[in-house]
Amino acid sequence: MKAILVLNAGSSSLKFALFATEPALAEQPALAGQIEGIGATPELSARDAAGKRYQEPVTTTGEQAEQHRDALTHLFRWLAAHNPDLEIVAAGHRVVHGGERYSAPVRLSEAVLRELDEFVPLAPLHQPHNLRAVRAVAALLPEIPQVGCFDTAFHRTQPALAQAFALPRAISAEGVKRYGFHGLSYDYVARQLPEVVGERASGAVVIAHLGNGASMCALRDGKSVASTMGFTAVEGLMMGTRTGSLDPGVLLYLMEQKGMDAKALTKLLYKESGLLGVSGISQDMRTLLASPAPEAKEAVDLFCYRIARELGSLAAAAGGLDALVFTGGIGEHAAPVRAKVAEMAAWLGVDIDVSANDAQQLRIDSADSRVAVAVVPTNEEGMIARYTMELLGR
């Protein structure tokens, strides 16, 4: 089997998917899974196209970088063992930050990687791990081409106003502006929309990508016009462990009155806040929805409230609201979250069909709703495979 290997590397996890390229690029992966717990007790879990599940421990040694290399070596061996005729023709990577320069997927060379290293401080939770995986693959399989697909690229169509901060010009000119993320997901979902909401797909659309990281995007004619995430992936919505937007005065207060430095603030903003921080229980929406604790309810309520507030703002940017689309782990599966957001968006003409929502149907708007409301499963890996195939001209 000839296939494209798609990788999405995080700090302690490596998500992977294998897409057959012949006779044509497959929409769904032949195999997909992840190695989790890198740095602790790594374990590989995967699922093939027939739904068969696999699980096994992974042995790693040495420092974090070597552990990622070991995890990849294990993955390659495991993939080959499960697909004796496997030929990996290319690797496509999720690279979260492409800065101002990269508005499309790019063939990755050491020179390009060095440029992408510059964006590490802008996406500390993602970028260093993304790039480390590229270098590890280059060392293990030097003969295959590698392609970087950027979360920021889809948003480069935004008008200048949507990308601007009210900062002095000299700082803005250095590239301190709003980039937006989750673009692979938005691009995939936007391409599905004509089938799901018809002509409305080219009108004013807001997509809510609600996963561990969460953001929303306003689209017009299928192109991004505004997003809740900005310079980094911490702006906007409340997330699993990230604050989302915060009065910058809070940071000044914590620095001046509590003596917190940049490192402590980074930890607070990215790892200790959001659903986890507010509930004090978990970052996992499933756990919170099942919990009787009032703190869990408060966290979920705040999560939904923030989405509803941002929806109003994005409708303003899009010039209305023809369709509202939910995606990501929470957007696709958490019916109570969708119901709460819809309730707060009634003023915009949103009305959902309760049973369609509970049944996770593709369209969940009621017959009376002025706005089409949809649940569209995202496929960031499939999008990366498609970009990789296109760029390599296969």
Ligand X SMILES: Nc1ncnc2c1ncn2[C@@H]1O[C@H](COP(=O)(O)OP(=O)(O)O)[C@@H](O)[C@H]1O
Interacting residues toward ligand UVW by CB under 6 A: 96, 126, 151, 181-182, 211-213, 233
Question: Which SS3 state, helix, strand or coil, does residue 379 take?
Answer: coil
Nearer to ligand UVW, 37 or 320 (CB): 37
Q: Which is nearer to ligand X, 203 or 244 (CB)?
A: 244
**Nearest distance, CB of residue 274 and ligand UVW, angstroms:** 11
The least CB distance from residue 37 to ligand X, in Å, is 14
CB nearer to Mg ion: give 69 or 306.
306
Annotated binding residues for substrate, written as ranges, equal 94
Given a contact cutoff of 8 angstroms between Cβ atoms, the answer to whether 5 and 90 are in contact is yes
Q: Out of ligand X, Mg ion, ligand UVW, none, which partner does residue 286 contact, by CB within 5 to 8 A per kind?
A: ligand X
The answer to whether the beta carbons of residues 172 and 164 sit under 8 Å apart is yes
Range list of β-strands (E), 25-84: 31-36, 43-48, 53-57
SS3 233: coil
Strand pairing class (146-150; 204-210): unpaired
Of these partners, ligand X, ligand UVW, Mg ion, none, which one is at the site of residue 329 (CB under 5 to 8 Å by kind)?
Answer: ligand X
Q: How far is the CB of 177 from ligand UVW (least distance, A)?
A: 16
Binding at 233: pick from Mg ion, ligand UVW, ligand X, none (beta carbon under 5-8 Å per type): ligand UVW
Burial of 387 (0-12, 13-18, 19+ CB in 10 A): buried
- Give the separation between CA 271 and CA 4, rounded to whole angstroms: 32
Interaction of residue 286 with ligand X, rule CB under 6 A: yes
Chain CA centroid to CA 261, Å: 28
Closest residue to ligand X using C-beta atoms: 329
285 part of the interface to ligand X, by CB under 6 A = yes
Phi and psi for 344 in degrees, rounded to 5? -75, -10
Residue 273 token pair: 């806040």
Question: Least Å distance between CB 336 and ligand X?
Answer: 8
CB of 304 to ligand X, least distance (A): 13
Binding residue positions for ATP: 15, 209-213, 284-286, 329-333
Task: Burial-class residue 384 by CB neighbours within 10 Å (0-12, 13-18, 19+).
Answer: buried
Smallest gap from Cβ 22 to ligand UVW, in A, equals 30
Does 42 sit behind a cis peptide bond, omega within 30 degrees of 0 on the bond before it? no
Q: What binding mask, one character per residue, do residues 206-235 give for ligand X by CB under 6 A, x or -?
A: -----xxx----------------------
Q: Which is nearer to ligand X, 180 or 203 (CB)?
A: 180
33 φ, ψ to 5°?
180, -160
108 interacts with, out of ligand X, ligand UVW, Mg ion, none, CB within 5 to 8 A per kind: none
Q: Which residue is nearest to ligand UVW (CB)?
A: 213
**Residue placing its CB nearer to ligand X in the complex, 98 or 211:** 211
Q: How far apart are CA 114 and CA 356, in angstroms?
A: 48
Scanning residues 320 to 359, which ones bind ligand X (CB under 6 A)? 328-330, 333-334
Query: How far apart are alpha carbons 362 and 215 in whole angstroms?
Result: 20
Computed on alpha carbons and rounded to an integer, the radius of gyration of the chain in Å comes to: 21
Specify the residue, 212 or 224, whose C-beta has the smaller distance to ligand UVW: 212
The answer to whether residue 151 is catalytic is: yes
Torsion of CA 96, 340, 273, 226, to 10 degrees: 40
CB of 69 to ligand UVW, least distance (A): 22
Listed ranges 91-99, 137-145, 160-168, 205-213: which one lies at the site for ligand X (CB under 6 A):
205-213
SS3 content of the chain, % helix, strand, coil (to 5): 45, 20, 35
CA distances from 377 to 75, 86, 236, 326, 380 (A): 26, 28, 22, 8, 10
List the catalytic residue out of 70, 151, 351, 353. Answer: 151
Q: Does 240 bind ligand X (CB under 6 A)?
A: yes
Q: Is 211 in the site for Mg ion (CB under 5 A)?
A: yes
**How many whole angstroms separate alpha carbon 306 and alpha carbon 387?**
32
Active site residues: 151
> Which residues sit at the interface with ligand X, rule CB under 6 A?
211-213, 240, 284-286, 289, 328-330, 333-334
> Which residues sit at the interface with Mg ion, rule CB under 5 A?
211, 213
